[in-house]
Amino acid sequence: MFPYSLFYLTKCFADNPVNHFPTYQPSDERIAEINASLVEENNPLNIHYDASQEVRAKGAGFYQFSADEVTRRKEMEDLKKAREDTEKTREELGAVDVRPGEVEGMVQESEGVGEQLKKSRAMEKRKRELEERRKMLDAKRRKTNHGNEPPSIKIEVQEPMGPPAIVQAPLDPFAALEAQTPLPKLDLKGKGKMKEDPADAFLAALERDILKGTNK
């Protein structure tokens, strides 16, 4: 395997020296043939595009012109004449091109002075009737609201007066007697003496011991 690979590489380097890149070089006969095919006499400019070779669906406005120059000019003249007739008919009927946002339709015929005056009077009469009806409804509504109004209540605001005088009530004889009688003193040495709580006694003794230890 190795000797064969070495032989192949040696042959490649021998056939393709350094900086040699093989390129295609056409022959002189081929160059002359290409130049002859590109001459203007062999490619006339009066050949029009033929859409019959296209494999696609044609639209509603598609028109296939003839390849013959005379027939093609006649077809162009017919189309131009049809367009002029259409524009003339639309102008006579008052048709306008519909712009974005506009409504499609014919333009209304111009009215005479009498028709415009009649419409103006009818509009004024209608406006006057509406104004009278509005006034009548306002009067009726005002009358109804006036009858349903609740009776007004008058609120009298009194002026602020000074602080009220303090009136001293007569003293109660029993209350005066109780105030003069001294309270009885409790006999803490007898039966009224409270029993000492053991917990309180323990805490008091503990406090005394702590105080003695601190004083020492």
Can you give the residue ranges of every domain in the chain? 119-145
What does the pLDDT read at residue 161? 60
Mean pLDDT across 30-51: 77
Of the listed ranges 25-34, 64-73, 113-122, 129-138, the least confidently predicted one is 113-122
Tell me the pLDDT tens digit for each residue of 81-102. 999 999 999 888 887 777 776 6
Band of residue 109 on the pLDDT scale cut at 50, 70, 90: low
Radius of gyration of the chain (CA): 63
What does the pLDDT read at residue 29? 93
Band of residue 79 on the pLDDT scale cut at 50, 70, 90: very high
CA distances from 109 to 87, 94, 99, 102, 106 (A): 18, 8, 20, 18, 9
Tell me the pLDDT tens digit for each residue of 161-187. 655 555 555 556 667 667 776 665 555
Of the listed ranges 27-31, 121-125, 162-166, the least confidently predicted one is 162-166
CA distances from 186 to 189, 190, 194, 195, 197 (A): 9, 9, 11, 15, 20
Band of residue 119 on the pLDDT scale cut at 50, 70, 90: confident
Tell me the pLDDT tens digit for each residue of 41-55. 666 666 777 787 788
Band of residue 1 on the pLDDT scale cut at 50, 70, 90: very low
63 and 79 Cβ atoms separated by less than 8 Å: yes
In the chain, which ranges are continuous DSSP H helix?
A: 2-15, 28-37, 69-93, 113-147, 173-180, 198-215
Tell me the pLDDT tens digit for each residue of 130-161. 999 999 989 888 888 766 555 555 555 555 56
User: Residue 104: pLDDT above 50?
Assistant: yes
User: Residue 75: pLDDT above 90?
Assistant: yes
Of the listed ranges 23-27, 45-49, 117-121, 191-195, the least confidently predicted one is 191-195
Q: What percent of the chain shows pLDDT beyond 90?
A: 13
This prediction has a pTM of: 0.28
